């Protein structure tokens, strides 16, 4: 994009999961060739086949991964339905996703293999630095607990299509309830414990849950945070608004016996029944010895997830169960090269789709290592978990790795990390400093750079171990997913920036929002820009390298900078700041419309210790940008700010800052899902004081 030759980071033959065996995808390709009498010679042949011969790909995936259920007669995909209408995958099939997660792999019913090991941040009252293990559960125990929980939910009147919600943190209990909910055909939804009351109510007023699972307290940043007060208000407001919420179940997130504090069970409105998790499970003691899995249509939803809420009201998105299950198996096994022998640690809260993807690691029978707390208290905490539980893959945001690099942290110092074979990162563009840290500190570990979305419950772009990996690029679209970089007319581009568009239907594509009669908002969200023919658009700006076929992500299309017609991603500026300016703690770059309808780039800096932004610092930043990129990339305005707004998943909220400095009223910006919305007031004031004539709305 900037004229530089692509820099290779990793080549096939380098370290990866199961590097003593052929890549799993090569075995899959050989099986495809044998079954269909083909001669697919490489990755790109396989990918093209998977997106053109959709029926063959889906039939092969069903059989290869051994999906449990009734496949039914007829095609695996019905062609000819416009993309903005619900698609028909395996239209005559009947499956249950939880049945597959519990029984569809080599770890099924194992008394030795752990499905999850749950840990929390060390106790701030002590000097301990060791993460605290609060519970672990084998696949045998998980099946039994799901059996009891499913029966208990049925006794509370929960059935197919009903909603079960949580206001909690990652744990074995949440894994049990997630699977139990799916086993009876109900829909699971979650909000993280750190959310405020309004953020939770905004979501649950829409989906109308019958049961809410919550916790008494959680620990983050060396502080314990009581949740019961907020939980009581959420229950009061949600039950008053929709009247379906009848039961609340509480467990002790920090307690090894999992019992909640007595006070956390009191003070709720008298229209709901409140019980502890242990009492809830006890009501399922009379459950049949085998789970009676409810099998429904292939597209029957398993969850309702929510958009980040940075613009407009949260979108409540149904996730098609069969498609999500099938594509998670494809990604975990054929892209990540992981199976039942592996352990996966992902730092994610229950407000991020990555948590859902993390706990679906059971699709291949692996071990989920869960951590609830700050990844920096202490800074070594995730790395101790990797060493202790022999984790194969660590999932973390690029910003986490950048912070470690800034702090000069050495993860291998005093630790045996020989088990770690892969870094999985998503949520933001990966800058060179991440690769440099991995080269220097992690022996050039494979970096699986992925991009996807809440909407699809999975990945759109992924990595593969049979292609070279280049710094800053995502290697390939996922098997079975047809992507293009589209211009404004929907034409595919290579070597020119465009919008990431799904040009064909794909198995895990969502079809509905809750409370959206006629699917009007759904179509406006994903198909407004590309209607003829309709193509699914998540509004990300991308560029395809004509030399490597790799993809570069520039974030939201509406967050891309465009001064004087030069379009570029803010990540290019962030890399320069993060790699050469230690006095800058954080930054955010957005465009402001000028009086002549052009755009100027405004770069806001959060300095270390809030030291003043000096003329010398501004001059050095502008000089570095001009030298690394071009003079037209240089921000016109550099200003000091008190902080940068982030979503719970670690994304900078550029779109909202852009609106505010262009004159949008503060009340028009939705703060739902934003960790530090208090900074918005400052940006609104800055925008009012520095507005140009054209920028005022």
Residue-range domain boundaries for the chain: 139-306, 561-689
Q: Which two tokens stand for residue 636?
A: 């016109």
- pLDDT tier at 327, thresholds 50, 70, 90: very high
- % of the chain at pLDDT higher than 90: 80
Average pLDDT of every residue of the chain: 93
> For residues 561 and 598, is the Cβ–Cβ distance under 8 A?
no
Residue found by looking up tokens 């280049």 in the block: 470
**How far apart, in Å, do the first and last CA atoms of the chain sit?**
33
> For residues 324 and 519, is the Cβ–Cβ distance under 8 A?
no
Average pLDDT estimate for 359-372: 97
- Which residue from 551, 364, 465 is spatially nearest to 25, judged by alpha carbons? 465
Quote the pLDDT of residue 67.
Answer: 98
Quote the pLDDT of residue 41.
Answer: 98
Average pLDDT estimate for 520-530: 93
- pLDDT tier at 114, thresholds 50, 70, 90: very high
Of residues 406 and 227, the one with the higher pLDDT is 227
Backbone angle region of 396, left / alpha / beta, with phi > 0 → left and psi within -120 to 50 → alpha = beta
Residue 484 is inside which H or E element, if any? Answer: strand 483-486
Neighbours of 528 (CB within 10 A): 11
Quote the pLDDT of residue 241.
Answer: 84
Cβ density class 555-585: b for 16+ within 10 Å, e for less: bbbebbbebeeebbbbbbbbbbbbbebeebb
- pLDDT tier at 558, thresholds 50, 70, 90: low
- Strands 94-95 vs 132-138: parallel, antiparallel or unpaired: unpaired
Q: Which two tokens stand for residue 598?
A: 């052009």
Quote the pLDDT of residue 593.
Answer: 85
CA distance linking residue 316 with residue 510, whole number of Å: 11
Neighbours of 489 (CB within 10 A): 7
pLDDT digits (tens, 9 = 90+) for 313-323: 578 999 999 99
* CB-side neighbour CA atoms (13 Å) of 3: 3
Quote the pLDDT of residue 672.
Answer: 80
- pLDDT tier at 557, thresholds 50, 70, 90: low
Residue found by looking up tokens 């016109």 in the block: 636
Quote the pLDDT of residue 426.
Answer: 86
Quote the pLDDT of residue 2.
Answer: 52
| pTM, entire model | 0.86
Quote the pLDDT of residue 310.
Answer: 34
Of residues 223 and 314, the one with the higher pLDDT is 223
Q: Is CATH 1.20.120.790 the right assignment for the domain spanning 139-306?
A: no
Quote the pLDDT of residue 526.
Answer: 94
Quote the pLDDT of residue 643.
Answer: 97
Residue found by looking up tokens 């230690």 in the block: 582
Residue 10 is inside which H or E element, if any? Answer: strand 8-10
Q: Measure the CA angle with vertex 344, ends 412 and 291; round to 5°.
A: 155
pLDDT digits (tens, 9 = 90+) for 123-136: 988 878 899 999 99
Q: How many helices (H) and strands (E) does the chain have?
A: 19, 31
Quote the pLDDT of residue 628.
Answer: 73
| pLDDT of residue 285 exceeding 50 | yes
CA distance linking residue 617 with residue 610, whole number of Å: 13
Q: Report the length, in residues, of the chain.
A: 697
- Strands 483-486 vs 498-502: parallel, antiparallel or unpaired: antiparallel
Angle between helices 615-628 and 570-580 (to 10 degrees): 120
Q: Measure the CA angle with vertex 366, ends 360 and 372; round to 5°.
A: 65
| pLDDT of residue 312 exceeding 80 | no
Neighbours of 167 (CB within 10 A): 26
Chain Cα centroid distance, residue 562 = 28
CA distance linking residue 352 with residue 398, whole number of Å: 15
Rg (CA), the chain: 25
pLDDT digits (tens, 9 = 90+) for 582-622: 999 999 999 998 876 678 999 999 999 999 999 999 999 99
What are φ and ψ of residue 438, in 5° steps? -65, -35
Neighbours of 86 (CB within 10 A): 15
CA distance linking residue 177 with residue 182, whole number of Å: 8
Residue found by looking up tokens 């050039």 in the block: 444
Quote the pLDDT of residue 617.
Answer: 97
What are φ and ψ of residue 123, in 5° steps? -65, 125
CA distance linking residue 96 with residue 94, whole number of Å: 7
Residues with Cβ within 8 Å of residue 103, at least 6 apart in sequence: 68, 109, 143
Average pLDDT estimate for 543-557: 88
Neighbours of 480 (CB within 10 A): 23
Quote the pLDDT of residue 388.
Answer: 98
- Which residue from 353, 374, 80 is spatially nearest to 225, judged by alpha carbons? 374
Best mean pLDDT range from 145-159, 446-460, 560-574: 145-159
CA distance linking residue 109 with residue 140, whole number of Å: 4
What are φ and ψ of residue 631, in 5° steps? -65, -30
In angstroms, how far apart are the furthest CA atoms of the chain?
Answer: 73
Q: Is CATH 3.30.300.30 the right assignment for the domain spanning 561-689?
A: yes
Backbone angle region of 12, left / alpha / beta, with phi > 0 → left and psi within -120 to 50 → alpha = beta
Query: Coil, strand, or helix at residue 274?
Result: strand
| pLDDT of residue 428 exceeding 80 | no
pLDDT digits (tens, 9 = 90+) for 189-212: 999 998 888 878 888 999 999 999
Best mean pLDDT range from 78-87, 197-206, 350-359, 391-400: 78-87
Question: What DSSP line would sit under 356-375, residue for residue?
Answer: HHHHGGGGGT-EEEEEES-T
* DSSP 8-state secondary structure symbol assigned to residue 122: P
Of residues 541 and 359, the one with the higher pLDDT is 359
Quote the pLDDT of residue 696.
Answer: 31
> For residues 337 and 462, is the Cβ–Cβ distance under 8 A?
no
- Which residue from 542, 567, 344, 554 is spatially nearest to 428, judged by alpha carbons? 554
Residue found by looking up tokens 């790109």 in the block: 44
User: Beta strands of 185-322 (E only): which ranges?
Assistant: 187-192, 211-215, 217-220, 223-226, 247-251, 273-276, 301-306, 316-320
| pLDDT of residue 697 exceeding 60 | no
Tell me whether residue 165 is exposed, middle or buried, using C-beta atoms within 10 angstroms of its C-beta: 0 to 12, 13 to 18, 19 or more. Answer: buried
| pLDDT of residue 556 exceeding 80 | no
């Amino acid at each position: 994009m900037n004229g530089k030759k692509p820099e290779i980071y990793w080549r096939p033959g380098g370290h990866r999961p199961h590097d003593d065996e052929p890549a799993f995808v090569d075995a899959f390709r050989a099986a495809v060739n044998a079954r269909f009498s083909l001669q697919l010679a490489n990755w790109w042949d396989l990918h093209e086949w998977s997106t053109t011969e959709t029926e063959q790909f889906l039939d092969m995936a069903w059989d290869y991964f051994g999906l449990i259920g009734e496949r039914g007669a007829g095609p695996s995909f019905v062609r000819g339905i416009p993309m903005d209408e619900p698609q028909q995958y395996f239209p005559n099939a009947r499956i249950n996703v939880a049945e597959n997660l519990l029984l569809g792999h080599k770890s099924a019913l194992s008394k030795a293999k752990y499905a999850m090991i749950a840990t929390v941040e060390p106790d701030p009252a002590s000097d301990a630095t060791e993460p605290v293990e609060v519970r672990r559960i084998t696949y045998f125990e998980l099946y039994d607990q799901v059996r009891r929980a499913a029966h208990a939910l049925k006794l509370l009147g929960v059935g197919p299509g009903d909603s079960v919600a949580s206001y909690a943190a990652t744990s074995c209990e949440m894994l049990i309830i997630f699977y139990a909910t799916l086993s009876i055909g109900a829909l699971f939804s979650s909000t993280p414990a750190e959310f405020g009351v309004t953020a939770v109510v905004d979501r649950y007023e829409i989906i109308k849950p019958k049961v809410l699972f919550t916790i008494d307290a959680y620990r983050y940043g060396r502080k314990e945070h009581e949740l019961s007060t907020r939980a009581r208000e959420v229950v009061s407001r949600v039950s008053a608004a929709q009247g379906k919420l009848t039961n609340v179940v509480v467990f002790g997130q920090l307690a090894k016996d999992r019992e909640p504090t007595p006070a956390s069970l009191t003070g709720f409105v008298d229209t709901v029944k409140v019980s502890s998790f242990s009492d809830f499970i006890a009501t399922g003691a009379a459950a049949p010895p085998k789970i009676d899995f409810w099998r429904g249509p292939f597209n029957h939803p398993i969850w309702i997830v929510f958009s980040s809420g940075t613009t407009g009201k949260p979108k409540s998105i149904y996730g098609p169960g069969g498609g999500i299950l099938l594509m998670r198996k494809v990604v975990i096994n054929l892209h990540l090269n992981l199976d039942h022998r592996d352990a996966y640690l992902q730092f994610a809260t229950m407000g991020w789709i990555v948590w859902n993807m993390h706990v679906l690691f059971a699709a291949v029978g692996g071990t989920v290592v869960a951590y609830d707390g700050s990844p920096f208290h202490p800074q070594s905490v995730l790395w101790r978990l990797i060493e202790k539980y022999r984790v194969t893959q660590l999932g973390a945001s690029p910003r986490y790795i950048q912070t470690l690099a800034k702090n000069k942290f050495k993860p291998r110092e005093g630790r045996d990390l020989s088990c770690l074979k892969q870094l999985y990162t998503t949520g933001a563009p990966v800058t060179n400093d991440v690769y440099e840290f991995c080269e220097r500190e992690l022996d050039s570990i494979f970096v699986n750079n992925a991009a996807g979305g809440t909407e699809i419950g999975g990945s759109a772009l992924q990595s593969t171990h049979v292609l070279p990996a280049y710094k800053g690029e995502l290697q390939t679209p996922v098997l079975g997913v047809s992507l293009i970089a589209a211009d404004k007319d929907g034409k595919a581009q290579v070597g020119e920036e465009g919008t990431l568009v799904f040009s064909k239907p794909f198995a895990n594509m969502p079809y509905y929002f809750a409370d959206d009669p006629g699917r009007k908002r759904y179509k406006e969200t994903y198909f407004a820009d590309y209607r003829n023919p309709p193509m699914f658009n998540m509004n990300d700006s991308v560029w395809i390298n004509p030399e490597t076929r790799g993809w570069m992500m520039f974030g939201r299309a509406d967050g891309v900078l465009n001064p004087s017609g030069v379009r570029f991603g803010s990540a290019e500026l962030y890399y320069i700041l993060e790699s050469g300016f230690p006095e800058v703690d954080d930054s955010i770059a957005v465009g402001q419309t000028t009086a002549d309808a052009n755009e100027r780039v405004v770069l806001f800096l959060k300095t270390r210790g809030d030291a003043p932004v000096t003329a010398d610092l501004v001059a050095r930043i502008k000089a570095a940008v001009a030298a690394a990129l071009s003079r037209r990339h240089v921000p016109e305005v550099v200003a000091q700010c008190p902080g940068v707004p982030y979503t719970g998943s670690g994304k900078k909220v550029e779109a909202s800052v852009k609106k505010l400095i262009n004159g949008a009223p503060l009340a028009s910006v939705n703060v739902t899902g934003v960790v530090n919305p208090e900074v918005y007031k400052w940006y609104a004031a800055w925008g009012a004081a520095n507005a140009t004539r054209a920028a005022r709305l």
